[in-house]
Amino acid sequence: MMLNNTRFFFFFFCTGCFECCIKCLGGVPYASLVATILCFSGVALFCGCGHVALTGTVTILENHFSKVTSDNAMLTDIIQLMQYIIYGIASFFFLYGIILLAEGFYTTSAVKELHSEFKTTICGRCISGMFVFLTYILGVAWLGVFGFSAVPVFLFYNMWSTCAAMKSPMANFTNIDSICVDARQYGIIPWNATPGKACGSTLGDICNTNEFYLSYHLYIVACAGAGATVIALLIYMMATTYNFAVLKFKSREDCCTKF
């Protein structure tokens, strides 16, 4: 008799735990969870790789394109400012991702009505609407960041393709020193910078440096990280907009049932 009671208690306990786990898993905002992981990964790649790549770019410019410190002083200050901005972006999106994930848990539970204490309120709907608006703004801003991060990839690719063309056995150049890359034409350094350009074997030596190889590939990874962040914000936008629309509809439904 005692053994049967133990089995019954164990079965009841396991069934209750299983139903509780299913209920909790039903309240997980999977879209927001995936977006948070993608956002953290993208921002980490963009900030980390972008910071190191900017440092390598300064080294390349100072050693090969603008050997006079006063010529690239303004560019150095701008790059340092961009690195500080990267610190701020990383900190902000770490907090913003956690807040959006918490808001996703709240709205998902309220939408699915898993817990009786999670009810829609005017304050909750206003907060959800604020996150929808802010996420849209950040999504548009990160589209600009994604486009901006593709610019150094394009510049480094031009240098790399020029060096590859010089090394190609199919190349037939009468004067290899006439092949140059002028950093001044991109507006990176002023026109009075010396030497301002690299030609022939000097250009080939630049392409063989570790700074060039590392910076080029880090810019590619940073651009990919910015693209991943744009996708994450797009997922956030869809999830927050859907939850806000459902909460607003439920609030109207509640008002109708009261009368």
| Alpha carbon distance 70, 44 (integer Å) | 33
Tell me whether residue 25 is in a domain: no
The structural domain count of the chain equals 1
Q: Is residue 3 part of a domain?
A: no
CA 235, chain centre distance (Å): 13
How many residues belong to the chain?
Answer: 259
Give pLDDT tens digits for 117-157. 445 566 666 777 788 888 889 889 999 999 999 988 998 88
Q: What's the pLDDT at 229?
A: 92
pLDDT at residue 5, rounded to an integer: 46
The answer as to whether 119 is a domain residue is no
Establish if 168 belongs to a structural domain. yes
* pTM of the predicted model as reported, rounded to 2 decimal places: 0.78
Query: Which SS3 state, helix, strand or coil, does residue 112 take?
Result: helix
Which tokens sit at 147?
Answer: 């486009």
Residue 28 lies in a domain: no
Sign of the C-alpha dihedral computed for residues 127, 132, 138 and 142 taken in this order = positive
> Is there a domain that residue 7 lies in?
no
Is residue 153 in some structural domain? yes
Q: Kindly write down the DSSP assignment for every residue of 131-197, as one continuous string.
A: HHHHHHHHHHHHHHHHHHHHHHHHHHHHHHHHHHHHH-TT---S-GGG-EEEGGGGTSS-TT-SB-E
Per-residue pLDDT of the chain (259 residues; tens, 9 = 90+): 444 444 444 444 445 555 555 555 555 667 778 888 898 999 999 999 998 998 888 888 888 887 777 767 777 888 888 888 888 888 898 888 888 887 777 766 655 554 444 455 666 667 777 888 888 898 899 999 999 999 889 988 888 888 887 776 665 555 676 778 888 887 777 777 777 788 877 888 888 888 888 999 999 999 999 999 999 999 888 888 877 777 666 666 554 455 4
- Please say whether the beta carbons of 233 and 133 come within 8 A: no
How far is it, in rounded angstroms, from Cα 63 to Cα 67? 6
Strands 180-182 and 197-199: antiparallel
Token couple for 235: 């997922």
Confirm whether 40 is domain-assigned: yes
Whole domain around residue 90: which residue ranges? 33-105+125-257
